[in-house]
Structure 1
Amino acid sequence: MTSQHEQSYHFGVMRRAIDLIDAGGEGMTLDRLAAEMGMSAAHFQRLFSAWVGVSPKRYQQYLTLGHAKALLHDRCTLLEAADAAGLSGTGRLHDLFLRWEAMSPGDFARKGAGLTVYWGWFDSPFGPALVMGTDKGICGIGFASETGETAAMADLTGRWPQAHFVQAPEHLRPWVDRAFGTHGPDTTPLHLMGAPFQIKVWEALLTIPSGHVTTYSQIAQAIGHPKAVRAVGTAVGRNPISLLIPCHRALRKSGGLGGYHWGLPVKRGILAWESARAEA
């Protein structure tokens, strides 16, 4: 099994390749991509295939901007249908099972006062990941490949400023191994810490199957606030548990990627990774 360190290294290579693909499009040949990475074509092909299970040529197609529109056309999930099919917070996501519980509005209003939050840095398939958790489960995941580690730490700790933060990666390791798919499909607990409206939006995100997408307007419809598209977009952007609560699967109705709190290259990388895994 590929280690998290190796996956993180693979993502770093892919992240550099994204810039080249953006500049050269699908016309960027395997030989040229490999040369720009300082690798042989065979080694570069093996590296990409090990990371996503498809060739660099196929992966280039996933990374193009048109892929988001293709996802909307072919794999756009109607949230009401997904919910009716039982794809909710207890459904299967990222080859693992999630169990979640929400913080009460009163506890959220106290901004984490009296709460102990454990944190640690971990390798992930998408670069360095800052993971935070309470005794109830993971409450935060941030990616630092675009923002930097200092900014990621300030971002997550600033959400619960009255909490007591303790560096304790060993406390989080079992959950992190499940979250990033390196230790079987055991239940991964999540602790959703947000305002009631935000939690409704995050609940809707949890119904979107891996390899599929939805739109901000569909989320607004699903939670009973069809005119609150802008507010939904804000709540999606404030999701603290990246990847596991899949805010990266929310796109603009036009097919545009929209924003992503940890950087659009990371969002594109996650969508491409999921699409390739779904078809592998």
Structure 2
Amino acid sequence: MDTSPDPRLENARALLESGAFSLPELAAEVGLSPAYLQKRFKQAYGLSPAEYAGQRRLMRLKQRLRETEDVTQAWVDSGFGSCSRVYENGAAKLGMSPAQYRKGGRGLKIHWTVTDTALGNALVAATARGICAVALADSQDALLAELRREFPEAELNHVPDDDGAIAPTVRAVADALAGKAAALPLELVGTAFQHRVWQALMRIPAGETFSYAELAQVLDMPKAARAVARACAGNKVAVLVPCHRIVRGDGSLGGYRWGLPRKQTLLARERMR
């Protein structure tokens, strides 16, 4: 099964890694029509060219905010054209202002709750701007510890899962974890290689499994199985980015960040469908 992207799409992705292009400019560079490029790029990578470029800028912004005290320089280095664009585009994805992210969420109020889902306890956390964390664990203490590691300086406000401030988000996450259709935007922030691996994971059909080596073959990187495994381990979005569909080369389940029983349940449910 050859599901590797068209070389022209790979060229377009590489160009987006290196600079800013409008859709017509990008299409002209790779020799495709804008409409065809838009459709095929999204099929291959799960994002439109503009969304992919936005994710890359956001990744660079988050990295630079951790590295420098100069927030303005972080904007410039990340490819945002102005302060207003950071707040219009970047802050909506970060769920907070750039300065707050750099400071571990200092001055930020995060509403969080633990709710019962088809996969057990799930922590859902959101700011006034949107979702900033989703995690699975057996205990509320473990879930809260993970949230604190990500936002050590934020004010964490525990609310009931039916609280009006967070209830719609909780319902959408619970539906997604139960395998139902849910309108839930994803923020996939990582290196370019991690992003490719995560997008490839999302193209694995439900009920099927790949080994790390097979996924590396799909990515046309047959010697990168270990790097693929590391990228899968770095996935922070349970189920929605389905790393549970990766098994060992001998067919055994291998590990799973959120516990092997959950992996077994997910795979059995998908195969029954």
Q: What TM-score range do you get, normalising by the shorter chain?
A: 0.5 to 0.7
Q: Is 2:121 the counterpart of 1:128? A: yes
Q: Is the 8 A contact 1:214 1:249 kept in 2?
A: yes
1:261-276 → structure 2 map (5 Å cutoff): 261-276=257-272
1:87-126 → structure 2 map (5 Å cutoff): 88-89=45-46, 102=55, 103-111=58-66, 112-113=101-102, 118-126=111-119
The verdict on how the C-alpha distance between 1:124 and 1:210 changes in structure 2, with shifts beyond 3 A counting, is same
Q: Is the 8 A contact 1:139 1:192 kept in 2?
A: no
CA-CA distance at 1:124 after TM superposition: 0.7
CA-CA distance at 1:156 after TM superposition: 4.2
Q: Alignment partner of 1:123: what SS?
A: strand
Range moving further from structure 2, 152-161 or 213-222:
152-161
What is residue 153 of structure 1 aligned with on the other side?
A: 144
Q: Distance in 1 between matches of 2:216 and 2:153?
A: 31
CA-CA distance at 1:80 after TM superposition: 3.1
- How far does the alpha carbon of each residue in 1:234-280 deviate from its partner, in whole angstroms, 9 at most, with x for none? 2212211101111111112221212101111111111112222x2xx
Q: Is the 8 A contact 1:119 1:131 kept in 2?
A: yes
Q: Is 2:155 the counterpart of 1:173? A: no
Number of residue pairs aligned between Structure 1 and Structure 2: 191
CA-CA distance at 1:149 after TM superposition: 2.5
The aligned amino acid for 1:187 is: A
Q: Is the 8 A contact 2:45 2:196 kept in 1?
A: no
Q: Distance in 2 between matches of 1:203 and 1:212?
A: 16
Q: Alignment partner of 1:242: what SS?
A: coil
The aligned amino acid for 2:65 is: R
Q: Alignment partner of 2:216: what SS?
A: helix
- Bigger relative contact order, structure 1 or 2 (CA pairs below 8 A, ≥6 apart): 1
CA RMSD of aligned residues (A): 3.6
- How far does the alpha carbon of each residue in 1:222-245 deviate from its partner, in whole angstroms, 9 at most, with x for none? 445432222221221221110111
The verdict on how the C-alpha distance between 1:225 and 1:163 changes in structure 2, with shifts beyond 3 A counting, is farther
The verdict on how the C-alpha distance between 1:211 and 1:228 changes in structure 2, with shifts beyond 3 A counting, is same
Identify unmatched segments of 5+ residues in structure 2.
6-39, 67-100
Identify unmatched segments of 5+ residues in structure 1.
1-76, 91-98
CA-CA distance at 1:153 after TM superposition: 2.6
The verdict on how the C-alpha distance between 1:139 and 1:225 changes in structure 2, with shifts beyond 3 A counting, is farther
The verdict on how the C-alpha distance between 1:213 and 1:141 changes in structure 2, with shifts beyond 3 A counting, is farther
Q: Distance in 1 between matches of 2:157 and 2:191?
A: 24
More strand by share: 1
CA-CA distance at 1:87 after TM superposition: 6.9
| TM-score, normalization by structure 1 | 0.55
Q: Is the 8 A contact 1:136 1:190 kept in 2?
A: no
Q: Alignment partner of 2:184: what SS?
A: strand
- How far does the alpha carbon of each residue in 1:210-232 deviate from its partner, in whole angstroms, 9 at most, with x for none? 22222212333344543222222
Q: Distance in 2 between matches of 1:186 and 1:214?
A: 25
The verdict on how the C-alpha distance between 1:224 and 1:174 changes in structure 2, with shifts beyond 3 A counting, is farther
CA-CA distance at 1:136 after TM superposition: 6.4
Q: Is 2:186 the counterpart of 1:231? A: no
The aligned amino acid for 2:227 is: A
What is residue 137 of structure 2 aligned with on the other side?
A: 144
